[in-house]
Structure 1
C-alpha cells in the first residue's frame, strides 16, 4: 500500500483530501504545520511514497520545507498552491518539487496525478532504467535504443542520466547546469546545454520534433517521459 503524507494547515481541506485518498486505498498521514511535516518525513523516510505539500503554511513556507528535505528523500513532491504563475512555479521546481496542483482542484485529477507519478518513480531501478525502447545501464554506463548501442559523449550521457533518474520531474536549466557544469572539470553554459540536448535528441529520438524521451517545458527546462 502506497503511503501519502499531506502537509496542509487548512484542516478541512487536509481531512477532505485524506478521506478521498483513503477511499482509493492509500495509507494517508496528515500534518498541519511545517514542523510537524518535517518531523514525520525525517522519522518515516522509508515509509512515505508521496508528499502533498501546501506552499503557505502557518509556521513557514512549503518551499523552504521542500528545499530542506529534497536531498534526503527521493519520493515525489507535489505542491498545493493558489499561486500558479510561471515565476512561482519556477521557484518551486528549483527547490525540488515534481509538480503543482492549483487550488481549487479536482480530487479525481489529483488521484490520477498521484498514480502516474508513483508509477514513474517505480520505473527507475538502482542500476538499470528502461522506458519504451530506451535502456540505460547506470553501472556499465551503457545506453541502448531498440537493443542497439547508442554512443554518447560524456556530457550527453550525464544529461540523459540526470533526466532519467528524475523521470517525470521537471528539471530547470539551472538545476541541470548545477549538476553537470563541473563534470570532469568541464564548464557547461546555457548555450552548450541546448546544443547537447539537441545532439542527444538526434541520437535517441525517432522524431526530434515530436520527442517522447526528452520533453521541453517551455520557459522552464526539460522533463523525461511523456
Structure 2
C-alpha cells in the first residue's frame, strides 16, 4: 500500500481524488495548504505527492524547491497553468510530471500507479542525495545526471560513506574495509590522497564539500 499526499486547496477536488485513490488501494493523506502539507511530509513516509501550484498560503513550486533536496518521492503538479514555460520551470525545479485541470481521474490513477511502480524499482538499490546518485547494482556514480568515472578505490570509499550516511566513519575503519581485506598495506596519507581525488570528481567545490565531510582527527562522514 502506497502513501499518497494530496496538497490541494479545492476541497471538492481534493476529496474526489482522495476517494478515487483510496478505492484503488492507496493510503491517502490530504492537506489544503502549503503549511499543513509540509507538516504531513515531516510526519509521514510519503511515496508520491500530488501538489497544486496555487495554494492559499504560498506556491507549490516553492514547496517543491524546498523539499526536493530532502526527499526522493515523485512529485506531480496539479495545475491550470499548463503553458510550455510553466511546465519547463516545474521540471527544472524537480517535479516528475504535470496533470492539467480539468483531468480524468482514471488517467490520473494510471499515471500514479505507473510512477509508483517505476520509483519502487529505481529505489531498490539506488542512493540519492542532492545532485549525487549512486547505482549500487551498476556501480555507477552520477552528479547532476552526468556519469562520473571513479577508480575502484574511489568508488569503494564513496559507497562505504554513503551507506553509512549520518555516521562518522573512522580512518581506521576505512583502511580496514577498503584495503586490509585484500592484504594490502595503505597508510593514512594514501587515504587522504584518495579522498582528495574523490572530492575533486564529485563535489562542486572540493574546498567546501557537501558530500564527503572531514571530522577533524577522527575520519569522515557523508552529507550534512
* TM-score bracket, shorter-length normalisation: 0.5 to 0.7
Distance 2:71 2:20 in 1: 25
CA 1:158/1:90 → structure 2, altered by over 3 Å: closer, same or farther?
farther
Distance 2:68 2:146 in 1: 25
Counterpart in 1 of 2:165? none
Q: Which runs of 5+ in 1 are unaligned?
A: 130-135, 144-154, 160-181, 187-226
Going from structure 1 to structure 2, the CA distance change for 1:137 and 1:50 (only over 3 Å counts) comes to closer
CA contact (8 A) 2:148 2:202 kept: no
Closer/same/farther in 2, CA of residues 65 and 184 from structure 1, 3 Å limit? closer
Pair 1:11 & 2:14 matched = no
In the aligned structure 1, how far is the partner of 2:67 from the partner of 2:146? 28
* Shift in Å, 1:95: 1.6
- Per the alignment, residue 61 of structure 1 pairs with 59
Give, in angstroms, the shift of residue 99 of structure 1: 0.4
Aligned to 1:75: 73
Residue 72 of structure 1 deviates from its aligned partner by: 1.0
Q: Post-superposition shift, 1:2? A: 0.6
Does structure 1 residue 99 correspond to structure 2 residue 97? yes
Show structure 2 runs of 5+ residues with no match: 128-133, 150-199, 205-224
SS at 2:147's partner residue? Answer: helix
Offset at residue 128 of structure 1 (A): 6.5
Using a 3 Å threshold, how does the CA distance of structure 1 residues 84 and 138 change in structure 2: closer, same or farther?
Answer: same
Answer yes or no: is 1:117 the counterpart of 2:107.
no
Instruction: For residues 36-93 of structure 1, give each alpha carbon's deviation from its aligned partner in whole angstroms, at most 9, with x where no partner exists.
Output: 001110222xx21110000000110000001001111101100000111111011111
Corresponding residue pairs, total:
146
Task: Map 1:151-170 onto structure 2 (within 5 A).
Answer: 157-158=147-148
Distance 1:15 1:140, change over 3 A: closer
Alignment of 1:1-226 (within 5 A): 1-44=1-44, 47-125=45-123, 127=125, 138=136, 141=139, 157-158=147-148, 183=201
CA distance in 2, matches of 1:128, 1:61: 30
**Offset, 1:185:** 8.1
In 1, Cα distance between the equivalents of 2:13 and 2:126? 39
d(CA) in 2 for partners of 1:20 and 1:90?
29
Q: Provide the alpha-carbon RMSD of the alignment.
A: 2.8
Conserved 8 A contact 2:125-2:137: yes
The structure having more radius of gyration, on CA atoms, is 2
The 3 A distance-change label for structure 1 pair 108 and 64 is: same
Q: 1:142 to 1:68 in 2, by over 3 A?
A: closer
In structure 2, how many angstroms separate the alpha carbons of the residues matched to 1:142 and 1:32?
Answer: 40
